[in-house]
Amino acid sequence: MKTPAKLRARLVSFTFALTAIFHAGSQAQSRASGPLLQPQSFRHYFTGFVRDEREMLGSAPPLPWDWFVRNIPWLDTPDAELNQIYYFRWYAFEKHLVRTPDGYVITEFLDKVPWSGKFNTIDTAAGHHIREARWLRDPKYVDDYTRFWFGPDGEPRRYSFWAADSVYQLYLATGNRDLAVSLLPALEANYRAWQATHQDPNGLFWQIDDRDGMEDSISGNGYRPTINSYMYGDAVAISRIAAMAEDPQIAATYQDKAAQLRALIESRLWNPHDEFYETVARHAASGWSGVRELIGYIPWYFDIPPLQHDIAWSFLFSPEGFAGKYGPTTAERSSPRFRYTVHHECLWNGPSWPYATTQTLVALANLLNGPEQTVMTRADYFSLLSTYTHSQHIRLPGGRTVPWIDEDLDADTGEWIARDILRSWHALPSNRGRYYNHSGYADLIITGLIGLRPQAGNDVVIHPLLPRGKWSYFALDGLPYHGRLLTILYDRTGERYHRGKGFQVLCDGRVIAHSGKLEDLRGSLPVHPG
């Protein structure tokens, strides 16, 4: 039977159209499978950092450009200052990766300081270090460093350190179950050691403010929101790691410990008069310290508080509370002891500390990812992050302002206080706080602003805290997650990246979630071939 000419023509046209669609789709997939952002486009930031370092300090080591190309996730946003500080913090972070006979460690100071342990390590900011380093594509840095703390030379109790929680957060990002499970006995032993030395019969943990890394605070020593929140977070993490190890007895034991400690934090550390979590002196009959300090937000870092306590966040931007042009103050301005006289360079009586600002931003992201509330918004997160970004600068003798990170700073002027005090004392080493690795930044962009919320399972969950309408585009490319590489991009018009309009997540170059607008996304990691 012959096919009519008109029908043959239609079939040919239809076949051609299908072929064209197939080839167009193949070309689009081919484009999507390659990297979205080219590292060379961002190299000028790093050459600028080297130039600034030479002008600031007199010399600078060669730029290890290939290391950055191999390891860091690339970020593109319309915010020039945020872009610059994002890359600056990776530039500073790389300086603190130290190869030792025991593997890689991450330092806090570049100079050897007498209060450090082996290889100049200090556990105070180790939780920040692990959260940052988990986003490097080569896992050896964070894996070695995490193991170090629980090896023969690690000292995870020299200062307060949310150790088990950090191990669990690392697992959520990498999916490396074996590392977390292998450390379970050490994490248990570490928790028991804290109980033996720092837990009173009433069930609360006490700490000296100096051992919190927060010397000369207004509230002083006692049952602090810091150590009690850390121990709660560690108990929850140990319970979850034990469940992964299929040890229900340990899981149940630490679940109970967490529940008991949470109840004590709520009943003993929450001051209903001040509507804030406060330090309680170990033997004080009067109860709370009566001063709001930024550490009162740490319970949200571990999702401890009930919804009705969200009122505490109303003090964050209050002129009488913690508001500061260059970052939140570490104590409320209304306290009569705000910035009281102390003969020490490391002041926690009011100055802003990047360490504490990092904790506060993680806590705020958790609040905004929790049950619906009316106290804080995405705009508040963006505002605090922008303030923190703006604070990370210093003015050179010639008047030029360049990226910088140091110790504590004046929340009103942006001057680095410890640096100024040490220089006035002619103290050595000179520039002790240069590239100070005592806080986080990249993790705040990744898990907060852009909103990747690491999961134990196969899901990829994105909850962006960028206010809607703020930017018309952004992209995060080459982000390691569960052994894969993610790209998270938003392009309102499709003209920036030429990958289509809207918000999408790609895994190894293939789209796994998409929306026409900036909103929450959820996708699943593709199954590895074979």
530 vs 518: CA distance, rounded Å: 34
Residues 22 and 60 in one domain: no
Total domains in the fold of the chain: 2
Residues 399 and 478 in one domain: no
* Whether the model pTM is above 0.75: yes
Residues 488 and 413 in one domain: no
Q: Which of 449, 478, 509 is the last residue of a domain?
A: 449
Give 17-82 as a DSSP string: HHHHHHHHHHHHHHHHHS-SS-GGGGHHHHHHHHHHHHHHHS--PPP-HHHHHHHPPEEE-S-HHH
Q: Does residue 402 belong to any structural domain of this protein? A: yes
Task: Give residue-wise pLDDT tens across range 374-392.
Answer: 999 999 999 999 999 999 9
Residues 497 and 405 in one domain: no
95 vs 91: CA distance, rounded Å: 7
What pLDDT shows up at residue 283?
A: 82
Residues 49 and 24 in one domain: no
What pLDDT shows up at residue 501?
A: 97
Token look-up 């962009």 returns 445
Residue spans of the chain under pLDDT 50:
1-31, 530
Q: Does residue 455 belong to any structural domain of this protein? A: no
Q: Does residue 459 belong to any structural domain of this protein? A: no
CA 230, 406, 69, 67: dihedral to nearest 10 degrees?
-90
Residues 343 and 400 in one domain: yes
Residues 487 and 350 in one domain: no
Could you list the beta-strand ranges (E) of 218-305. Answer: 270-271, 276-277
Range of the domain at 473: 5-37+464-524
Q: Does residue 498 belong to any structural domain of this protein? A: yes
Residues 269 and 177 in one domain: yes
Q: Which of 416, 449, 482 is the last residue of a domain?
A: 449
What pLDDT shows up at residue 34?
A: 73
What pLDDT shows up at residue 33?
A: 52
Q: Does residue 226 belong to any structural domain of this protein? A: yes
Task: Give residue-wise pLDDT tens across range 319-343.
Answer: 999 999 999 999 999 999 999 999 8
CATH number where 344 lies: 1.50.10.10
Residues 28 and 17 in one domain: yes
Give yes or no for a contact between 165 and 232, defined as CB atoms under 8 angstroms apart: no
Residues 20 and 44 in one domain: no
What pLDDT shows up at residue 529?
A: 56
Residues 331 and 404 in one domain: yes
